[in-house]
């Protein structure tokens, strides 16, 4: 078995008296698409924040490509090769679509520009490259955020609700893009409420409830898991 891209061991995060993430362990292998689901408030976004260093974990370990990354600053973790999008869109509104992509790059500007234009073409926003990101539609901003992540060529991509608010045509493109990333050998972990998306895209699904991992497995198996059904629909 290959070294896991990401290995989380006993990760916990509390906010006051609430255990947002409670002793979660999971492991991601390279070149696969993983789903992270659970009811609202089950700790999915907090888990993302702990992986990317935005929240400081209280206990546990996060290993990325065999290297410990918990305790590093968010920008250091991003530079190691973890990219993420946010549940609430976080493009840079007064930077143009093109600038949104360029700003996260280092090294040669000409290469960066070529890559940025290629990515904008890919999400059909090439014509809007000089528009302020804040003036784009919700779905378009979502795409800008998505391709901005790719500018840094990350090996692990965390997507927080990529399908929410994106129309059907765009969504299919987006899902194809995620599959293509997987085919290039990258690993994707996505939080998603749209079960069709999760079931159609993910190869392994983790289920969180009240900060704890209650199930893990193939989508088909998860769907019939007693504890998962209970978490979503109650007893």
Q: Which residues of this protein are in contact with another protein, per CB under 8 A?
A: 52, 54, 73-75, 78-79, 83-84, 86, 90-95, 99, 102-105, 109, 130, 132, 148-149, 152
Q: Which is nearer to another protein, 67 or 183 (CB)?
A: 67
Closer residue to another protein in complex, CB, 75/138: 75
**CB 111 to another protein: min, Å:** 13
Q: Which is nearer to another protein, 103 or 114 (CB)?
A: 103
CB 49, min distance to another protein, A: 9
Nearest to 155 by CA among 55, 8, 28, 11: 28
Q: How far is the CB of 108 from another protein (least distance, A)?
A: 11
Contacts for 55 with CB less than 8 Å, ≥ 6 apart: 13, 46, 49
CB of 56 to another protein, least distance (A): 13
Give, for 212, the enclosing helix (H) or strand (E): strand 212-217
CA distances from 17 to 20, 21, 39, 53 (A): 9, 12, 19, 21
Least distance CB 210 / another protein (angstroms): 26
Element (H, E) at 126: none
* Pairing mode of beta strands 204-209, 33-37: parallel
Give the residue with the Cβ less far from another protein, 145 or 192: 145
H or E, element range at 184: none
CB nearer to another protein: give 38 or 154: 154
Q: What b/e sequence results for 208-229 when a residue is b if at least 16 CB atoms lie within 10 Å of its CB, and e otherwise?
A: bbbbbbbbbeebeebeebeebe
Six-digit token string for 7: 């290995």
Nearer residue to another protein within complex by CB, 64 or 228: 64
Tell me how far, at minimum, the Cβ of 68 lies from another protein, in Å: 19
């Amino acid at each position: 078995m290959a070294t896991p891209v990401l290995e989380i061991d006993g990760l916990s995060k509390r906010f006051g008296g609430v255990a947002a993430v409670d002793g979660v362990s999971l492991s991601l292998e390279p070149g696969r698409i993983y789903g992270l689901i659970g009811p609202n408030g089950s700790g999915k976004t907090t888990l993302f924040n702990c992986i990317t260093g935005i929240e400081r974990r209280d206990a546990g370990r996060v290993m990325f490509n065999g290297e410990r990354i918990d305790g590093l600053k968010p920008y250091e973790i991003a530079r190691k090769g973890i990219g993420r999008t946010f549940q609430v869109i976080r493009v840079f509104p007064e930077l143009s679509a093109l600038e949104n992509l360029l700003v996260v790059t280092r090294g040669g500007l000409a290469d960066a520009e070529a890559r940025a234009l290629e990515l904008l073409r890919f999400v059909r926003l090439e014509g809007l490259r000089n528009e302020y990101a804040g003036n784009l539609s919700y779905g378009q901003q979502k795409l800008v955020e998505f391709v901005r992540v790719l500018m840094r060529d990350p090996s692990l991509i965390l997507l927080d609700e990529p399908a929410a608010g994106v129309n059907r045509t765009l969504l299919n493109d987006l899902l194809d893009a995620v599959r293509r990333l997987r085919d290039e050998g990258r690993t994707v972990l996505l939080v998603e409420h749209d079960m069709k998306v999760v079931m159609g895209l993910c190869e392994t699904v983790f289920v969180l409830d009240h900060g704890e991992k209650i199930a893990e497995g193939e989508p088909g198996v998860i769907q019939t898991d007693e504890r998962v059904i209970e978490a979503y629909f109650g007893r």
